[in-house]
Amino acid sequence: MGKPTGFLDYKRENDIETAPLERIKNFNEFHTPLAKEKQQIQGARCMECGVPFCQAGVMIAGMASGCPLNNLCPEWNDMVYHGNWEGAYKRLTKTNCFPEFTSRVCPALCEAACTCNLDSEPVATKANERVIIENAFAEGMVQPCPPQVRTGKRVAVVGSGPSGLATAMQLNKRGHSVTVYERNDRIGGLLRYGIPNMKLDKKIIDRRLNLMKEEGIEFITNANVGENVKAEDLLKEYDAVVLACGASNPRDINVPGRDAKGIYFAVDFLKATTKSLLDSGFKDKKFIPVKGKHVIVIGGGDTGNDCVGTSIRLGAASVTQLEMMPKAPDTRAANNPWPQWPRICKTDYGQQEAIAVFGSDPRIYTTTVQEFIPNKRGEVAKAKIVKLESKKDEKTGRMMMVPIPGTEEVIKADLVLIAAGFLGAQKYITDAFQVALNPRTNVATEPGHYASSVPKVFTAGDMHRGQSLVVWAIREGREAAREVDEYLMGYTNL
């Protein structure tokens, strides 16, 4: 805990956020941490609650409550309060491989489950986490720690997103020799090309990668396993292979006019933007042009919001975001009590920026696209949208969102970004290793385990559990590493 009466004595104070009209001028991160002295006061607000749901990471009503990594939040909040920054860093990194990532992109499940959240504001645990790790880097506490003894075992990790990197870090720490294969030109997977720079500056990724290289991990880019790198070669060369390739099949919108030019999957749009930014600061013009266009983003969630914020920075004339589901309530409903994850309406940074620039929230709820209308050049020019309502399917008994006749409307659409989520692992990689799949086309394993149907082939992250959060991917990577280590050594101390 922090100060016994801290949650009564002090109000929550968030980090400093650059105003929307200012931050949209660039792709820089826009949250500035509080001074360490002020952050210590935020640590003081952690109360002796008895049952720290913040670190529980349990499923309640089908949703996670508390940190999936079981971060020891009360312990390091207390250390922040007392100014024990080194102790806080050591406790934080006992459970989290990459706090510099999660403190930027995690939706803070810890704070949602904080006991202070019952009738006040939660402890600023996410901001505390960021100050702990950034102070540790600044003070030289974060140093490369290569293992003193190598086991002689070799492991290939396919994919360098958060689960792959976590797997690699843990197995290398154990003394195994780890090589990470990445099909893109840069390491990072989802962290690199799926999350915009203003949420996670890529220098933060490179800082960690440099440490991992110094610790002995090998990284190979432009290595597309299943295509220019053969699966059978990895199985011959390595003692174990971990597939951490993500859920990489974007969900499509199959309606008339889908083949019109100017319709992209969100992941392709975000990747092209970040790659152009990193390669040339946009001078190469290899990003998808947005300036002066009326943009429609199909889908809510983090990816949809990232498309909104990115489009505004690239000069969109307007941005409309379509969400199939109804607007969530502004406050908790009676059937959604604490410590469940709060199903409430969240206005994220992209929507905040759209409100500042265009004067209104870009989201239109219970609405989908019925048809894309191209111009004479075959370019998307308009979209016919329709309102939806929830009805029970007579055959299955499931509730479905179905169109309401007579609610059709045609709106401008020069650029369409589909951010409707992802469906399972990509077939070419699962075929290459001949691993069994579950009904959701993720790699099948025994419940609670990470070994695939093929000997010495394991899996982790979204490829295993389906599309999820970075924090879940890190947990999966850590748990998969433990199982691989036990497979290789007969026991594990991870």
Q: What is the pLDDT of residue 48?
A: 83
Residue 239 has what DSSP assignment? S
Q: Indicate whether 257 belongs to any domain.
A: no
Lowest mean pLDDT among 189-193, 245-249, 390-394, 435-439: 390-394
CATH code (residue 185): 3.50.50.60
The b/e string for 209-244 (b: 16+ C-beta within 10 A; e otherwise) is bebbeebbbebeeebebbeebebeebbeebbbbbbb
Q: What is the pLDDT of residue 47?
A: 87
What is the per-residue pLDDT across 104-151, written as a single tens digit (0 to 9) for each? 999 999 999 999 988 889 999 999 999 999 999 999 999 999 999 999
Co-location of 413 and 442 in the same domain: no
Co-location of 43 and 99 in the same domain: yes
Alpha helices (H) in 345-489, listed in sequence order:
349-358, 427-433, 462-465, 470-489
What's the average model confidence in pLDDT over 64-81? 96
| 3 has pLDDT over 90 | no
Co-location of 328 and 449 in the same domain: no
Q: Indicate whether 274 belongs to any domain.
A: yes
| 154 has pLDDT over 90 | yes
Nearest Cα to 124, choosing from 2, 240, 267, 278? Answer: 2
Q: Indicate whether 341 belongs to any domain.
A: yes
* Domain final residue pick, 418, 450, 471: 418
CATH code (residue 23): 1.10.1060.10
Q: Which helix (H) or strand (E) holds 157?
A: strand 154-158
Co-location of 456 and 394 in the same domain: no
| 1 has pLDDT over 80 | no
Q: Indicate whether 147 belongs to any domain.
A: no
CA distances 111 to 52, 71, 106, 339, 340, Å, are 11, 12, 11, 10, 11
Co-location of 224 and 334 in the same domain: no
Predicted structure pTM score? 0.96
Co-location of 324 and 362 in the same domain: yes
What's the average model confidence in pLDDT over 399-410? 95
Co-location of 451 and 474 in the same domain: yes
What is the per-residue pLDDT across 285-341, written as a single tens digit (0 to 9) for each? 999 999 999 999 999 899 999 999 999 999 999 999 999 999 999 999 999 999 999
Q: Which helix (H) or strand (E) holds 276?
A: helix 266-280
* Domain final residue pick, 385, 418, 451: 418
Widest CA span in the chain: 71
What's the domain count of the chain?
A: 3
Query: Does the CA dihedral 399-405-411-417 come out positive or negative?
Result: positive
Q: What share of the chain is helix, strand, coil (3-state, %, to 5)?
A: 35, 20, 45
Co-location of 413 and 431 in the same domain: no
Q: Indicate whether 134 belongs to any domain.
A: yes
Co-location of 80 and 216 in the same domain: no
Q: Indicate whether 310 belongs to any domain.
A: yes
Confidence label for 253 from pLDDT (cuts 50, 70 and 90): very high
Q: Residue 142's CB: how many other CB atoms inside 10 A? A: 18
Q: What percent of the chain has pLDDT over 70?
A: 100
Q: Which residue has the tokens 């939040």?
A: 73
Q: What is the pLDDT of residue 141?
A: 98
Beta bridge partners, 320, equal 296
Co-location of 276 and 413 in the same domain: yes
Co-location of 379 and 240 in the same domain: no
Confidence label for 396 from pLDDT (cuts 50, 70 and 90): confident
Q: Indicate whether 111 belongs to any domain.
A: yes
Q: What is the pLDDT of residue 379?
A: 98
* Domain final residue pick, 81, 111, 138: 138
Q: What is the pLDDT of residue 385?
A: 98
Q: Which domain holds residue 370?
A: 263-418
Q: Indicate whether 368 belongs to any domain.
A: yes
Co-location of 407 and 279 in the same domain: yes
